[in-house]
Amino acid sequence: MIFAGTNTTAVTLEWAMSNLFNHPQVLEKAKQTLRLCPAAPLLLSHFSKNECTIGGYDVPKNSMLFINAWAIHRDPQLWNDALKFRPERFQKCQAEAEDYGYKFMAFGLGRRACPGMALANILSFALGSMIQCFEWKRVTDKQIDSAEGNGLPMPKAEPLEVMCIARDIIHKELSSFQRNSY
């Protein structure tokens, strides 16, 4: 369990940074990445204890079921502009927000939810710290490639290559830390 969430968190950070570089006007709005580019497109498998019907399909007892979060998160019947990077869809207060129900399940549900969910929940803090502490620049003027690679977690086809420059506040904090350390 020590490694739960580490690789998926790294992959999600890479996708988030890629999306933010391709959409600089929404640099401060980053939650959408979990819906569009889930690190694990198939959630942990489940077994049916009894015969049942799911979405009009008869499922025999003891069948192995996989939930395709990638397909659910991109389904135009569930999401307006399903393939569009629109972080503002998550910014409404809970009372006004869309009914997400089983539409958004980046970490799975129930007893078989992702064991790395606690680590992933701090992803926004890690991403926020990266945005706050560094100036980020593209290495080239080209759009960041958003092609998906193969594997679990689902990586980018081409690794993200960008340049970061520490903001002045980081230099001051590091200098202060060095002066005060033993």
Question: pLDDT tens digits, residue range 77-90?
Answer: 988 888 888 877 76
CA dist 153 and 12 (Å) reads 9
Distances (CA, A) of 75 to 36, 39, 79, 145: 10, 17, 6, 22
The binding site for heme comprises: 114
Continuous segment of H or E residues that includes residue 136: strand 134-138
- Of the chain, the percentage scoring pLDDT greater than 90 comes to 9
Q: Does 1 map to a domain?
A: no
Domain membership flag for residue 101: yes
pLDDT at residue number 79: 87
Is the entire prediction scored with pTM above 0.85?
no
The one-letter amino acid code at 2 reads I
Confidence label for 136 from pLDDT (cuts 50, 70 and 90): confident
Give the CATH number of the domain where residue 26 resides: 1.10.630.10
Contacts of 163 (CB under 8 A, 6+ apart): 136, 137, 138, 139
Query: From the CA atom positions of the chain, what is the Rg in Å?
Result: 19
Q: Residue 132 falls within a domain, yes or no?
A: yes
How sure is the predictor about 34, in pLDDT bands with cuts at 50, 70 and 90? low
How far, in Å, CA of 154 to CA of 24, rounded?
23
Domain carrying residue 27: 6-180
φ/ψ of 151, rounded to 5, equals 125, 170
Cite the DSSP H helix spans in the chain.
Answer: 6-22, 33-36, 69-73, 117-121, 123-133, 168-180
Collapsing DSSP to helix, strand or coil, 111 comes out as helix
Does residue 16 fall inside a structural domain?
yes
Residue 64 CA to residue 99 CA, distance in Å, equals 28
Residue 167 lies in a domain: yes
- Taking residues 12-18, what's their average pLDDT? 84
Highest-confidence range of 4-8, 59-63, 108-112, by mean pLDDT? 59-63
What does the pLDDT read at residue 100?
58
The count of domains in the chain is 1
Tell me how far apart the alpha carbons of residues 155 and 15 are, in angstroms, rounded to a whole number: 8
